[in-house]
Amino acid sequence: MKKLVVLFALLLSACASSERYVQWETEKPEHFPKLIAIGYAPLSEQPGKTKSKRVLMAMQASKVAAYRELAEQVYGQQITAQTTVKDWTTESEAISSSVTGVIRGAKVVKTYVAGDFYVTELELDYHRVWELYQHRNKTQRVKRVTYF
């Protein structure tokens, strides 16, 4: 009887320790959305002694504003609010928002002056983002498993 138990244990352990080789392949999504973001910056409000310096500052500010809008679309916006009530009357109210994220692959579609504003239009094509991501991290699925 002991020999039978030992034999059975050896058979089970042999089956449990089988090795395998997993072959992976990259799976491409069916469709890729495109996001558009527009940033504005007032020309007259920019610091600088000359008009050309104010235009350069507005260009940069509008680009940053457009990137913030893209980050809000991709990652969402965190809202924090606080209200203080005393004697059934609102005493103070504070609301803040923030966005944190990394945007890769966006391109400037158009920049132009519209009245007193400098405008930057950005586009984020998720096909480009996917390609950039593939170079860093291969998204994969199981193609075939071979057991030894």
Q: Which has the closest alpha carbon to 63: 115, 128, 108?
A: 108
Question: In this structure, is the dihedral angle defined by the CA atoms of residues 96, 102, 105 and 107, taken in order, positive or negative?
Answer: positive
For 21-25, 80-84, 116-120, which range has the lowest pLDDT when averaged over its residues? 21-25
pLDDT for 16 beyond 60:
no
pLDDT for 76 beyond 90:
yes
**33 burial level (CB within 10 Å; 0-12, 13-18, 19+):** exposed
- Cβ proximity of 71 and 35 under 8 Å: no
Confidence at residue 21, expressed as pLDDT on a 0 to 100 scale: 80
- Cβ proximity of 141 and 25 under 8 Å: yes
